[in-house]
Amino acid sequence: MGEQILIAIRRHFIVFPIILICFVAAGFSLNTVLQPEYQAKSTLIANFDRSDNLSNKYNELLANQMLTTTYQEAIQSLFIANIVKSKLSSNLTPSELLKKVQVKTDPGALILSIYANANDANQAVAIANAFAESFVSNSTLILNQANVNVLDLAVYENSSTPVKPKKMFNLAVSFFIGFFAAASFSLFLEKKRLKKVKKKDRLPNFRLETQVKREISTQLEGKL
């Protein structure tokens, strides 16, 4: 099969690169048309009260690890989103702000990572930091014993490179799809060409057989 594809590509050496170039150009155009998206990250840490009792420390650590899940849901609540909207004086609704935010936690740690995506790096940074600071400032209103602090705020330098579109990935995918499509079409053309050749080869033989049959038939009629 591989050898057939190579033969088809060589024979249709004009069609193959044209199709491949068209797909790569489509991938390049997609990268140009898609609006860049930036991502900013701020982190929070859930603390526990110090105690001289080692057992209490361990229990408090486990309790705080369980609370991180609660914190995760609370950060993504409409309550916090409304505070963020006021803080940023944003034209976006609380629901639209929440769509730009994702909170992730590490089960083995007390770290909460707040990711904010936006079409502008500065906006992404502002949203991530606003959610972090708003939650820390109002966490006790949600949980009486909440003890969470900002670990790192998002900064522009770490968010200035767009995360979408992934240009090299899109170009690579376009190339491989284009290569497959070009190879498939070349193979199709080659099979079609071979059928025509076989048909042409059969035609003279068919004519010869018909002529021979006619001559034999004429000779038999003459004897009769």
The model's pLDDT over 59-73, given as tens digits with 9 standing for 90+, comes to 666 666 677 888 899
Nearest to 144 by CA among 77, 67, 44: 67
Whether the CB-CB separation of 48 and 63 falls below 8 Å is answered with: yes
Q: Is residue 214 helix, strand or coil? A: helix
State how far the Cα of 125 lies from the Cα of 116, in Å rounded to an integer.
7
Q: In this structure, how many other beta carbons lie within 10 angstroms of the beta carbon of residue 111?
A: 15
Beta-ladder partners of 45: 111, 149
The pLDDT score that the predictor gives to residue 192 is 83
Task: Indicate the pTM of the whole model.
Answer: 0.70
Burial of 124: CB neighbours in 10 Å, binned 0-12, 13-18, 19+: buried
Q: What is the pLDDT of residues 75-87, one digit of tens each?
A: 999 999 999 999 9
> Is residue 50 very low, low, confident or very high in pLDDT (cuts 50, 70, 90)?
low
E strand or H helix at 53, and its extent?
Answer: none
Average pLDDT over residues 123-142: 94
Is the predicted pLDDT of residue 47 greater than 80, yes or no?
no
**Window from 36-40, 49-53, 68-72, 179-183 with minimum mean pLDDT:** 49-53
94 cis-preceded (ω within 30 degrees of 0): no
Residue-wise pLDDT for 151-208, tens only, equals 999 999 999 999 988 889 989 999 999 999 998 898 888 888 878 777 766 655 545 5
